[in-house]
Protein backbone atom coordinates (compact mmCIF):
# COMPACT_ATOMS: atom_id res chain seq x y z
CA UNK A 1 0.00 0.00 0.00
CA UNK A 2 1.00 3.64 -0.34
CA UNK A 3 1.32 6.01 2.61
CA UNK A 4 2.88 9.34 3.43
CA UNK A 5 6.14 9.28 5.39
CA UNK A 6 8.93 11.66 6.42
CA UNK A 7 11.97 10.75 4.31
CA UNK A 8 15.53 11.95 5.02
CA UNK A 9 17.74 11.81 1.94
CA UNK A 10 21.16 12.73 3.33
CA UNK A 11 23.17 13.20 6.52
CA UNK A 12 21.58 15.92 8.70
CA UNK A 13 19.04 16.53 5.95
CA UNK A 14 15.50 17.79 6.26
CA UNK A 15 12.53 15.51 6.75
CA UNK A 16 10.46 15.60 3.58
CA UNK A 17 6.88 14.33 3.81
CA UNK A 18 6.28 12.33 0.66
CA UNK A 19 4.57 9.18 -0.59
CA UNK A 20 6.23 5.79 -0.06
CA UNK A 21 5.17 2.21 -0.65
CA UNK A 22 4.88 -0.35 2.15
CA UNK A 23 5.68 -3.99 1.54
CA UNK A 24 3.10 -6.76 1.74
CA UNK A 25 2.28 -7.73 5.32
CA UNK A 26 3.89 -10.99 6.47
CA UNK A 27 2.30 -13.60 8.72
CA UNK A 28 3.93 -12.26 11.91
CA UNK A 29 3.43 -8.56 11.12
CA UNK A 30 0.93 -5.87 12.02
CA UNK A 31 -0.19 -2.83 10.04
CA UNK A 32 -0.78 0.16 12.32
CA UNK A 33 -2.44 3.48 11.51
CA UNK A 34 -0.23 5.94 13.39
CA UNK A 35 -2.11 8.37 15.64
CA UNK A 36 0.93 9.90 17.37
CA UNK A 37 4.69 9.45 17.15
CA UNK A 38 7.30 11.02 19.41
CA UNK A 39 10.46 12.70 18.16
CA UNK A 40 13.35 11.04 19.99
CA UNK A 41 17.05 11.89 20.30
CA UNK A 42 17.85 8.53 18.71
CA UNK A 43 16.02 9.51 15.52
CA UNK A 44 18.20 12.60 15.28
CA UNK A 45 21.55 10.97 16.03
CA UNK A 46 20.84 8.45 13.28
CA UNK A 47 19.87 11.25 10.90
CA UNK A 48 23.22 12.88 11.80
CA UNK A 49 25.14 9.58 11.41
CA UNK A 50 26.33 9.32 15.01
CA UNK A 51 24.96 5.83 14.56
CA UNK A 52 25.59 4.74 10.97
CA UNK A 53 22.57 4.27 8.71
CA UNK A 54 22.01 4.50 4.98
CA UNK A 55 19.90 7.03 3.07
CA UNK A 56 17.20 7.67 2.02
CA UNK A 57 15.65 6.66 5.34
CA UNK A 58 12.41 6.72 7.30
CA UNK A 59 12.91 6.99 11.06
CA UNK A 60 10.41 7.15 13.93
CA UNK A 61 10.25 4.65 16.78
CA UNK A 62 7.78 6.01 19.33
CA UNK A 63 4.58 5.24 17.46
CA UNK A 64 1.11 4.72 18.84
CA UNK A 65 -1.92 3.90 16.80
CA UNK A 66 -4.73 1.59 15.82
CA UNK A 67 -4.25 -1.87 14.35
CA UNK A 68 -5.59 -1.97 10.78
CA UNK A 69 -4.58 -5.46 9.66
CA UNK A 70 -2.70 -8.44 11.10
CA UNK A 71 -0.78 -11.34 9.57
CA UNK A 72 -2.15 -14.86 9.63
CA UNK A 73 -0.07 -15.96 12.64
CA UNK A 74 -0.64 -12.88 14.80
CA UNK A 75 -2.61 -13.61 17.96
CA UNK A 76 -1.60 -10.86 20.40
CA UNK A 77 -3.57 -8.06 18.76
CA UNK A 78 -6.43 -7.70 16.32
CA UNK A 79 -7.83 -4.93 14.09
CA UNK A 80 -9.19 -2.04 16.13
CA UNK A 81 -6.83 -2.53 19.08
CA UNK A 82 -4.95 0.48 20.45
CA UNK A 83 -1.22 -0.20 20.52
CA UNK A 84 2.17 1.28 21.34
CA UNK A 85 5.13 0.29 19.19
CA UNK A 86 8.43 -0.32 20.94
CA UNK A 87 11.88 -1.83 20.35
CA UNK A 88 12.55 -5.32 19.02
CA UNK A 89 14.80 -8.07 20.38
CA UNK A 90 15.64 -11.30 18.56
CA UNK A 91 13.60 -13.59 20.83
CA UNK A 92 16.03 -16.47 20.34
CA UNK A 93 19.15 -15.69 22.40
CA UNK A 94 19.81 -16.65 26.02
CA UNK A 95 18.89 -13.16 27.28
CA UNK A 96 15.58 -13.12 25.42
CA UNK A 97 14.67 -16.61 26.57
CA UNK A 98 15.26 -15.64 30.20
CA UNK A 99 12.91 -12.66 29.79
CA UNK A 100 15.61 -9.98 29.52
CA UNK A 101 15.23 -8.51 25.99
CA UNK A 102 17.18 -5.31 26.64
CA UNK A 103 20.36 -7.38 27.02
CA UNK A 104 19.81 -9.19 23.72
CA UNK A 105 23.20 -9.26 21.92
CA UNK A 106 21.36 -8.83 18.61
CA UNK A 107 19.43 -5.74 19.66
CA UNK A 108 21.40 -3.30 17.51
CA UNK A 109 20.78 -5.25 14.32
CA UNK A 110 17.12 -5.79 15.21
CA UNK A 111 16.48 -2.06 15.50
CA UNK A 112 19.05 -0.33 13.29
CA UNK A 113 19.39 -2.82 10.43
CA UNK A 114 17.11 -0.90 8.06
CA UNK A 115 15.30 -4.01 6.86
CA UNK A 116 13.73 -7.23 8.11
CA UNK A 117 16.02 -9.85 9.62
CA UNK A 118 16.24 -11.62 6.25
CA UNK A 119 17.32 -8.39 4.56
CA UNK A 120 14.05 -7.69 2.77
CA UNK A 121 12.84 -4.06 2.78
CA UNK A 122 9.58 -2.86 4.30
CA UNK A 123 9.57 0.52 2.50
CA UNK A 124 10.16 1.59 -1.09
CA UNK A 125 10.41 5.15 -2.35
CA UNK A 126 9.75 5.69 -6.04
CA UNK A 127 10.15 1.96 -6.52
CA UNK A 128 13.57 1.77 -4.84
CA UNK A 129 14.12 -0.01 -1.47
CA UNK A 130 15.16 2.44 1.25
CA UNK A 131 16.33 2.28 4.88
CA UNK A 132 13.21 1.46 6.90
CA UNK A 133 11.97 -0.96 9.54
CA UNK A 134 13.63 1.38 12.05
CA UNK A 135 12.99 -0.19 15.47
CA UNK A 136 10.74 -2.55 13.51
CA UNK A 137 8.33 0.29 12.72
CA UNK A 138 9.64 3.44 10.92
CA UNK A 139 6.66 5.29 12.37
CA UNK A 140 7.35 8.76 10.97
CA UNK A 141 4.50 7.82 8.67
CA UNK A 142 0.73 7.62 8.46
CA UNK A 143 0.93 3.82 8.44
CA UNK A 144 3.68 1.55 9.72
CA UNK A 145 4.51 -2.14 9.55
CA UNK A 146 5.54 -3.60 12.92
CA UNK A 147 6.09 -7.13 14.13
CA UNK A 148 3.79 -8.80 16.61
CA UNK A 149 6.78 -8.96 18.98
CA UNK A 150 7.20 -5.17 19.32
CA UNK A 151 3.51 -4.28 19.35
CA UNK A 152 1.98 -3.71 22.79
CA UNK A 153 -1.77 -3.54 23.31
CA UNK A 154 -2.92 -0.68 25.58
CA UNK A 155 -6.18 0.43 27.14
CA UNK A 156 -8.65 2.45 25.08
CA UNK A 157 -9.66 4.85 27.87
CA UNK A 158 -6.50 6.99 27.68
CA UNK A 159 -5.46 9.47 24.95
CA UNK A 160 -3.74 7.29 22.36
CA UNK A 161 -1.79 10.17 20.77
CA UNK A 162 0.02 10.70 24.09
CA UNK A 163 1.28 7.16 24.45
CA UNK A 164 3.84 6.70 21.66
CA UNK A 165 6.82 7.89 23.77
CA UNK A 166 6.07 5.09 26.24
CA UNK A 167 7.70 2.85 23.66
CA UNK A 168 11.14 4.41 24.11
CA UNK A 169 11.89 7.71 25.88
CA UNK A 170 9.39 7.47 28.75
CA UNK A 171 10.08 3.76 29.13
CA UNK A 172 13.81 4.45 29.27
CA UNK A 173 13.66 7.07 32.03
CA UNK A 174 10.94 5.56 34.17
CA UNK A 175 12.33 2.06 33.70
CA UNK A 176 15.81 3.13 34.82
CA UNK A 177 14.27 4.02 38.17
CA UNK A 178 11.59 1.35 38.51
CA UNK A 179 13.39 -1.63 36.96
CA UNK A 180 17.11 -0.97 37.48
CA UNK A 181 17.50 1.25 40.55
CA UNK A 182 14.42 0.04 42.47
CA UNK A 183 15.02 2.71 45.13
CA UNK A 184 13.68 2.27 48.64
CA UNK A 185 11.31 4.94 49.93
CA UNK A 186 13.34 7.83 51.30
CA UNK A 187 16.17 7.40 48.77
CA UNK A 188 17.92 10.25 46.98
CA UNK A 189 18.46 10.56 43.24
CA UNK A 190 20.21 13.09 41.01
CA UNK A 191 19.06 13.34 37.40
CA UNK A 192 21.43 14.95 34.90
CA UNK A 193 19.45 16.31 31.97
CA UNK A 194 15.76 17.25 32.15
CA UNK A 195 14.58 16.12 28.75
CA UNK A 196 11.82 13.57 28.36
CA UNK A 197 14.00 10.72 29.65
CA UNK A 198 15.20 12.64 32.69
CA UNK A 199 11.78 14.01 33.58
CA UNK A 200 10.24 10.55 33.20
CA UNK A 201 12.82 9.25 35.66
CA UNK A 202 11.98 12.14 37.98
CA UNK A 203 8.26 11.35 37.91
CA UNK A 204 8.96 7.68 38.56
CA UNK A 205 11.27 8.56 41.47
CA UNK A 206 8.53 10.64 43.04
CA UNK A 207 5.98 7.87 42.48
CA UNK A 208 8.06 5.32 44.40
CA UNK A 209 8.85 7.59 47.33
CA UNK A 210 12.27 9.13 46.73
CA UNK A 211 12.41 12.10 49.08
CA UNK A 212 15.46 13.93 47.69
CA UNK A 213 15.06 14.39 43.94
CA UNK A 214 17.73 16.57 42.33
CA UNK A 215 17.35 17.95 38.81
CA UNK A 216 20.42 19.21 36.91
CA UNK A 217 20.09 21.18 33.65
CA UNK A 218 21.24 24.42 32.02
CA UNK A 219 17.74 25.30 30.78
CA UNK A 220 15.87 27.39 33.42
CA UNK A 221 12.47 26.47 31.98
CA UNK A 222 13.23 22.78 32.30
CA UNK A 223 14.46 23.21 35.86
CA UNK A 224 11.19 25.00 36.67
CA UNK A 225 9.23 22.15 35.09
CA UNK A 226 11.29 19.65 37.08
CA UNK A 227 10.30 21.51 40.26
CA UNK A 228 6.66 21.35 39.21
CA UNK A 229 6.93 17.60 38.64
CA UNK A 230 8.48 16.86 42.02
CA UNK A 231 12.14 17.85 42.14
CA UNK A 232 13.17 18.95 45.63
CA UNK A 233 16.36 20.62 44.35
CA UNK A 234 17.31 22.10 40.96
CA UNK A 235 20.86 23.05 39.96
CA UNK A 236 22.26 24.82 36.92
CA UNK A 237 25.89 23.65 36.44
CA UNK A 238 26.71 27.01 34.85
CA UNK A 239 25.92 28.71 38.16
CA UNK A 240 27.34 26.31 40.74
CA UNK A 241 29.52 23.28 41.32
CA UNK A 242 26.81 20.65 41.14
CA UNK A 243 28.93 17.86 42.60
CA UNK A 244 29.68 19.96 45.70
CA UNK A 245 26.05 21.00 46.04
CA UNK A 246 24.79 17.42 45.80
CA UNK A 247 27.45 16.16 48.21
CA UNK A 248 26.13 18.67 50.77
CA UNK A 249 22.78 16.88 50.71
CA UNK A 250 23.38 13.95 53.00
CA UNK A 251 26.78 13.07 51.64
CA UNK A 252 25.71 12.58 48.03
CA UNK A 253 22.98 10.88 46.05
CA UNK A 254 22.09 7.20 46.41
CA UNK A 255 21.39 7.06 42.67
CA UNK A 256 22.20 9.21 39.67
CA UNK A 257 21.08 9.08 36.06
CA UNK A 258 23.10 10.46 33.15
CA UNK A 259 20.93 11.30 30.12
CA UNK A 260 23.02 13.86 28.20
CA UNK A 261 25.75 11.67 26.60
CA UNK A 262 28.33 14.33 27.56
CA UNK A 263 31.45 12.73 29.12
CA UNK A 264 32.04 15.58 31.60
CA UNK A 265 28.45 15.29 32.81
CA UNK A 266 28.82 11.52 33.16
CA UNK A 267 31.83 12.17 35.39
CA UNK A 268 29.75 14.54 37.55
CA UNK A 269 26.97 11.94 37.81
CA UNK A 270 29.45 9.44 39.26
CA UNK A 271 31.31 11.90 41.49
CA UNK A 272 28.09 13.16 43.12
CA UNK A 273 27.20 9.71 44.50
CA UNK A 274 27.34 8.65 48.09
CA UNK A 275 29.34 5.53 48.96
CA UNK A 276 28.06 3.12 47.86
CA UNK A 277 25.97 4.64 45.10
CA UNK A 278 24.78 3.64 41.64
CA UNK A 279 24.97 5.71 38.45
CA UNK A 280 22.90 4.69 35.45
CA UNK A 281 23.96 5.70 31.95
CA UNK A 282 21.24 6.13 29.34
CA UNK A 283 22.68 8.97 27.21
CA UNK A 284 23.54 7.72 23.71
CA UNK A 285 26.97 9.08 22.72
CA UNK A 286 28.71 8.86 19.33
CA UNK A 287 30.53 5.60 18.72
CA UNK A 288 34.00 5.64 20.28
CA UNK A 289 33.23 8.30 22.92
CA UNK A 290 35.41 7.84 25.99
CA UNK A 291 35.14 9.09 29.57
CA UNK A 292 37.62 9.22 32.47
CA UNK A 293 37.10 8.74 36.19
CA UNK A 294 39.29 8.92 39.25
CA UNK A 295 39.69 5.19 39.87
CA UNK A 296 39.36 5.76 43.61
CA UNK A 297 35.88 7.20 43.09
CA UNK A 298 34.85 3.70 41.94
CA UNK A 299 37.19 1.74 44.22
CA UNK A 300 35.28 2.54 47.39
CA UNK A 301 31.93 1.19 46.30
CA UNK A 302 30.36 3.33 43.61
CA UNK A 303 28.96 1.47 40.61
CA UNK A 304 28.07 2.36 37.03
CA UNK A 305 25.52 0.51 34.90
CA UNK A 306 24.40 1.01 31.30
CA UNK A 307 20.63 0.92 30.87
CA UNK A 308 18.89 0.17 27.56
CA UNK A 309 15.16 0.89 27.18
CA UNK A 310 14.69 1.03 30.93
CA UNK A 311 15.61 -2.65 31.30
CA UNK A 312 11.97 -3.38 30.62
CA UNK A 313 9.84 -6.13 29.20
CA UNK A 314 7.51 -3.88 27.19
CA UNK A 315 4.44 -6.15 27.16
CA UNK A 316 4.38 -5.92 30.95
CA UNK A 317 5.96 -2.52 31.59
CA UNK A 318 4.15 -0.26 29.12
CA UNK A 319 0.68 -1.14 30.53
CA UNK A 320 2.09 -0.31 33.99
CA UNK A 321 3.15 3.10 32.70
CA UNK A 322 -0.36 3.60 31.35
CA UNK A 323 -1.68 2.82 34.85
CA UNK A 324 0.70 5.41 36.34
CA UNK A 325 -0.58 7.96 33.82
CA UNK A 326 -4.18 7.10 34.64
CA UNK A 327 -3.45 7.57 38.37
CA UNK A 328 -1.83 10.97 37.79
CA UNK A 329 1.71 9.85 38.69
CA UNK A 330 2.97 10.20 35.13
CA UNK A 331 1.43 13.46 33.82
CA UNK A 332 2.66 13.16 30.25
CA UNK A 333 0.60 16.13 29.11
CA UNK A 334 2.97 18.43 31.03
CA UNK A 335 6.02 17.47 28.96
CA UNK A 336 4.64 17.11 25.43
CA UNK A 337 3.85 19.43 22.55
CA UNK A 338 1.81 18.36 19.51
CA UNK A 339 2.64 19.09 15.88
CA UNK A 340 0.98 18.36 12.56
CA UNK A 341 2.91 15.78 10.57
CA UNK A 342 4.08 18.27 7.94
CA UNK A 343 5.53 20.40 10.77
CA UNK A 344 8.13 17.72 11.51
CA UNK A 345 11.13 19.95 10.82
CA UNK A 346 9.75 22.56 13.24
CA UNK A 347 9.18 19.83 15.82
CA UNK A 348 12.79 18.73 15.39
CA UNK A 349 14.11 22.29 15.76
CA UNK A 350 12.02 22.85 18.87
CA UNK A 351 13.31 19.59 20.33
CA UNK A 352 16.92 20.46 19.61
CA UNK A 353 16.74 24.00 21.02
CA UNK A 354 14.82 22.96 24.13
CA UNK A 355 11.58 24.74 23.32
CA UNK A 356 9.64 21.49 23.72
CA UNK A 357 10.53 18.54 25.94
CA UNK A 358 8.80 15.83 23.91
CA UNK A 359 7.43 16.67 20.47
CA UNK A 360 4.66 14.40 19.22
CA UNK A 361 3.61 14.33 15.57
CA UNK A 362 0.02 13.55 14.62
CA UNK A 363 -0.02 12.00 11.12
How confident is the model at residue 52, as a pLDDT?
A: 86
Using the 8-state DSSP alphabet, how is residue 178 labeled? Answer: I
β-strand pairing of 29-38 with 143-147: antiparallel
Q: Are 196 and 358 in contact (CB under 8 A)?
A: yes
pTM, to two decimals: 0.95
How confident is the model at residue 54, as a pLDDT?
A: 94
Q: Which domains does the chain have, with CATH numbers?
A: 2-167+331-362 (3.90.180.10), 173-308 (3.40.50.720)
Distance CA 282, CA 301 (A): 21
As beta bridge partners, residue 291 has: none
Tens-digit pLDDT profile for residues 4-35: 999 999 999 999 999 999 999 999 999 999 99
Q: Are 110 and 104 in contact (CB under 8 A)?
A: yes
How confident is the model at residue 297, as a pLDDT?
A: 86
Q: What angle do CA 151, 207, 297 make, to 5 degrees?
A: 95
Tens-digit pLDDT profile for residues 288-330: 999 999 998 899 899 999 999 999 999 999 999 999 999 999 9
Instruction: Tell me which residue of 361, 48, 318, 79 sits closest to 179, measured CA to CA.
Output: 318
Cis peptide before 58 (omega within 30 of 0): no
- Tell me which residues of the chain have a pLDDT lower than 70: none
How confident is the model at residue 295, as a pLDDT?
A: 92
Distance CA 116, CA 129 (A): 12
How confident is the model at residue 106, as a pLDDT?
A: 95
The greatest distance separating any two alpha carbons of the chain, rounded to the nearest whole angstrom, comes to 62
How confident is the model at residue 257, as a pLDDT?
A: 98
How confident is the model at residue 287, as a pLDDT?
A: 86
How confident is the model at residue 157, as a pLDDT?
A: 95
User: Cα 139 to the chain's mean position, in Å?
Assistant: 14
How confident is the model at residue 214, as a pLDDT?
A: 98
Amino acid sequence: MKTKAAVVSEKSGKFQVTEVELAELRDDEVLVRIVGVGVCHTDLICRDQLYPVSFPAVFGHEGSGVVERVGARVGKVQPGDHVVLTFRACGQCVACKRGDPTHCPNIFGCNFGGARSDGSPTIHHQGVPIFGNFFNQSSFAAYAIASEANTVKVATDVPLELLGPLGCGIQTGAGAVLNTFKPAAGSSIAIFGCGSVGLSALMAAKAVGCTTIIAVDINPARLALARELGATHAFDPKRCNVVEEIQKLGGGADFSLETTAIPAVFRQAVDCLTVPGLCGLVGAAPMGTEVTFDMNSIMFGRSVVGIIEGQSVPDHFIPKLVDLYRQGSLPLEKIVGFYAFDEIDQAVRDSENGKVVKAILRP
